[in-house]
Amino acid sequence: MKIFYFTGTGNSLSVAKKIGGQLYSIAQVIKKGDTYFEDDSIGIVFPCHGVQVPAMVAEFLKKVELKSQYFFAIMTYGKFSGTALQELVSAMPKARNFNFHYVNEILMIDNYLLRADINKELEFEFKKSIDKNIALIINDIRCRKINSAPQKGFFTKILSSIKKFFFLVDGKNDINFRVDKSCINCGVCQKVCPKGNILAKGKVSYFHNCDFCMACVHSCKLSAIHVKGEKNSKRYRNKLVALQEIIDSNNQNKTFSHSEKIEKQKAV
């Protein structure tokens, strides 16, 4: 079994690790340019972003050729998943001529700092029965269960459309980030960015190629990176995932040319 995952704060990676099999970071697959994968079963695990599949996951699904008897997709989310899975399932046959045999979603800690207070999220984590729900999904996958995307009602569809309208990823979402004086230029933000959009040299600079996954904000040990509208400075990483795993998953090891560095310094 091969599992392709995308993660900002480790929730989706923790689920992928529990399911097992060979794990592939989607950010690394895109970077390497590998396009063909085959196995007896193939899955993707990813977070919900703006009631949608994250841009990088959509790009991956457009680019790769996957061959398997059994395809599954698991989406982690924090509060409202809306019609994200339904849309993914209906888009695939048209876009890539394949169907997911099994799809499911799992409610986890909400890392969207514009809405979520991480202190409260952690306090009430037990209510989400995360381990129990992951175990049910693992069992479904082991039994090769076949299902269709969870059906959503009329109001959920309307709300999903409204939320999607207000969640636009155009690369420039990084203008919402502010780095405060406590930054020591450790470079972690640069290493966890799956888009290679950050240069931490002298000061932290963003280059307007941001998917807004917030890995940089959450991974900063000093909480020195802030996002406009955040509830507070509490940050999050899934307890089953080490910082190094986020780095290994996302690091683009990008070296910046002199002119790019100058552009970046201007950008912030």
Ligand X SMILES: Cc1cc2nc3c(=O)[nH]c(=O)nc-3n(C[C@H](O)[C@H](O)[C@H](O)COP(=O)(O)O)c2cc1C
Q: Does 111 bind ligand X (CB under 6 A)?
A: yes
Sign of the alpha-carbon dihedral angle for 11, 13, 16, 17: negative
CB 79 within 8 A of CB 109: no
Nearer to ligand X, 226 or 261 (CB): 226
Nearer to ligand X, 204 or 245 (CB): 245
Residue among 254, 238, 255, 256 at smallest CA distance from 5: 238
- Given the structure tokens 């039994």, which residue do they identify? 143
Nearer to ligand X, 57 or 204 (CB): 57
Residue selected from 49, 191, 235, 264 as contacting ligand X according to rule CB under 6 A: 49
For ligand X, which stretch binds (CB under 6 A), given 65-73, 77-85, 95-103, 255-263?
Answer: 77-85
Task: Name 102's bridge partners.
Answer: 72
Nearer to ligand X, 8 or 196 (CB): 8
For ligand X, which stretch binds (CB under 6 A), given 34-42, 65-73, 74-82, 142-150?
Answer: 74-82
Task: Name 37's bridge partners.
Answer: 66
Q: Does 86 bind ligand X (CB under 6 A)?
A: no
- x/- letters, 180..219, toward ligand X (CB under 6 A): --------------------------------xxx-----
Q: How far is the CB of 38 from ligand X (least distance, A)?
A: 25
d(CA 121, CA 130): 13
Buried b or exposed e, range 249-263, using 16+ CB within 10 angstroms: bbbbebebeeeebee
Q: Does 108 bind ligand X (CB under 6 A)?
A: yes
d(CA 230, CA 90): 34
Nearer to ligand X, 170 or 257 (CB): 170
Residue selected from 3, 12, 57, 141 as contacting ligand X according to rule CB under 6 A: 12
Q: Does 8 bind ligand X (CB under 6 A)?
A: yes
Q: Does 179 bind ligand X (CB under 6 A)?
A: no
Tell me which amino acid residue 87 is. Answer: E
Q: Given the DSSP bridges, would you call strands 177-179 and 225-227 parallel, antiparallel or unpaired?
A: antiparallel
Buried b or exposed e, range 219-240, using 16+ CB within 10 angstroms: bbeeebbbbeebeebbbbbbee
Q: How far is the CB of 51 from ligand X (least distance, A)?
A: 4
Q: How far is the CB of 52 from ligand X (least distance, A)?
A: 7
- x/- letters, 128..167, toward ligand X (CB under 6 A): ----------------------------------------
Q: Does 10 bind ligand X (CB under 6 A)?
A: yes
d(CA 23, CA 264): 33
Element (H, E) at 226: strand 225-227
Dig out the tokens for 228 from the structure: 């406009």
Site residues, ligand X (CB under 6 A):
7-12, 47-51, 76-81, 108-112, 212-214, 238
